[in-house]
Amino acid sequence: MSTALLTARPTTAARPAAPALPAWAPRVPALAALALLPWLAVLAACHETAWVALDLAELTALLGLDALLRRRSPAAFGAACLVALLLAGDALADIGTAAPGLPLLAALVMAGCVELPLAALCLALGRRAGAGQRRRPARRPTAMTSTRARVSSSAPWPSASPTGCWAPSPSSG
């Protein structure tokens, strides 16, 4: 038997481009937030405090994502992840707490047709917004320059002498 050493090879192929989203897709988070308002009123009338709190968090996250998408901010990806997490958690909680029969079927339909597709769309929108921005390299501190040649020393930074001129640090012996 022979043994082979498996190593990861760097790939030179570019990552495939994400599929194009329709022109109306960036408006979906705001429309979903608007659609939550009547449902929040129903939940509040039934005194379902926990569900009201979860749906208010979803509403706030959707409106925040909408604002970041309008500004084309790279932070939209983080907001999209938050929205997707809240929507997936809502779907899981709905399914887990539904009574058998029609309530469970309704929870499954809502999860499969509304909440999880909306989460996937928000992630795609956030990824597209984040991919459009190039990250700037971190700024390096600027070194002080002088007309005289710098004397090399063992210290990484020169120290100031009493005269105010830059001088090398005394090297330890």
pLDDT exceeding 70 applies to what percent of the chain? 65
* Residue 68 in domain: yes
* Residue 54 in domain: yes
Number of domains present in the structure of the chain: 1
* Residue 73 in domain: yes
* Residue 10 in domain: no
By residue range, what is the domain housing residue 50?
Answer: 25-131
pLDDT higher than threshold 80 for residue 89: yes
Residue 42 backbone zone (phi > 0: left; psi -120 to 50: alpha; other: beta): alpha
Whole-prediction pTM? 0.66
Number of other CB atoms surrounding residue 76 within 10 Å: 28
Query: Can you count the helices (H) and strands (E) in the chain?
Result: 5, 2
* Residue 102 in domain: yes
Q: What pLDDT is recorded for position 131?
A: 75
Q: Please, which residues have CB within 8 angstroms of residue 146's CB and are 6 or more apart in sequence?
A: 166
Residue 121 binned pLDDT confidence (cut-offs 50, 70, 90): very high
